[in-house]
Amino acid sequence: MSHDHDSLISRRRLLMLGASSALVGISELFLSSSANAATAGADISHGPRNRAEVALTFHGDGDLTIARKILAIAKKTSTPITVMAVGTWLNANPTIGKEIVDGGHDIGNHTMHHKTMTLLSLKQATSEVALGKTALIKAVGSAGELFRPSGTLKSNATIRKAAGASGYAHCLTYDVDSLDYTDPSAATVVSNSLKLLQNGSIIGMHFGHPHTVTALPLLIEALKARNLTPVTVTQLLRP
C-alpha cells in the first residue's frame, strides 16, 4: 500500500474523529443549555404576614356576564383583584383583558387550555404556558409576571421548568380556597374564605359562578370588618 494511500486514510480518520468530537461537543452544549434552562422557584401561596392585606384572585374563564358583574362589584367597592386568565377565554373574548387592566386590576397567565398540568409531559406543559403567555400578550400587550398552574394547587418540577421557560419566576398558588367552583351558597363561599384567612392570604375564587357574584360584596365587607385591605397580588408581594 502506498504512502499516499496511507496518508489519505489517516486524513479521513482524523476528519471522522473531528466530526465525532464536534457532535459530542454540540450534544454536551445542548445538554448543558437544557440543564441550565430557567426553572421557576418555589410556589408563592401568600404574601407577608406582617401587613394587614389580602389578595382576591380569580380564575378567568366562563360567562362574560358573570365576569363583568364581578368587575362591576370590584369597581363599586374600590377593590383591586387579580385575574388569572385562561388563554382560550382571552382569545374568545378580545376585549375582556383590557377591561380587567383598565379597571386597575392584575392579570396573569393561567395556561392556554386549563389542563391538569400534573398529568402533562414537559413538552406539553411548556406549550400550555407559552400559548397562555401569547394569548395574554395579544390581549393586553404584556405577558406580565404572574403564572398560576391549572388543575393543581401546587406545582411540580415539570410545571416549574415549563413556567421558567416562559420567563415566569414563580408559580402563584393560594392558601385560602373559597371552593366557589363547587357552587355552594354565597354564605358558604364567604365562610370558606374566612376559615383560614390571615394577614397576607391569597384567596382562590372563580369567574363563571353565580354565587360568587352574590358572595363577593359580603366577603369584602367581612374583610373590612377584620381590618384587612384587599390588594392586587403585585401590591401584596411588594418588598
CATH at 105: 3.20.20.370
Same domain, 174 and 79: yes
CB-based burial label for 51 (10 Å; 0-12, 13-18, 19+): middle
Same domain, 116 and 1: no
Same domain, 7 and 57: no
Q: Pairing state of beta strands 176-177 and 106-109?
A: unpaired
Same domain, 22 and 112: no
Residue segments in the chain with a per-residue pLDDT below the cut of 70: 1-37
Kindly state whether residue 47 falls inside one of the protein's structural domains: no
Kindly state whether residue 119 falls inside one of the protein's structural domains: yes
C-alpha 197, offset from chain centre: 22
Same domain, 101 and 65: yes
Kindly state whether residue 46 falls inside one of the protein's structural domains: no
Kindly state whether residue 162 falls inside one of the protein's structural domains: yes
Kindly state whether residue 41 falls inside one of the protein's structural domains: no
Kindly state whether residue 65 falls inside one of the protein's structural domains: yes
Same domain, 66 and 27: no
Kindly state whether residue 42 falls inside one of the protein's structural domains: no
Same domain, 19 and 76: no
Same domain, 18 and 95: no
For 7, the domain range is: 1-36
Same domain, 17 and 81: no
Kindly state whether residue 151 falls inside one of the protein's structural domains: yes
DSSP three-state, residue 58: strand
pTM score, whole prediction: 0.84
Say what the pLDDT of residue 2 is.
44
Say what the pLDDT of residue 38 is.
87
Say what the pLDDT of residue 37 is.
58
What's the number of domains the chain is made of? 2
User: Dihedral of the CA atoms 146, 147, 152, 157 (nearest 10)?
Assistant: -120
Same domain, 23 and 131: no
Q: For the chain, what percentages of helix, strand and coil (3-state, to nearest 5) are there?
A: 50, 15, 35
Same domain, 151 and 211: yes
Same domain, 12 and 78: no
Amino acid at 202: I
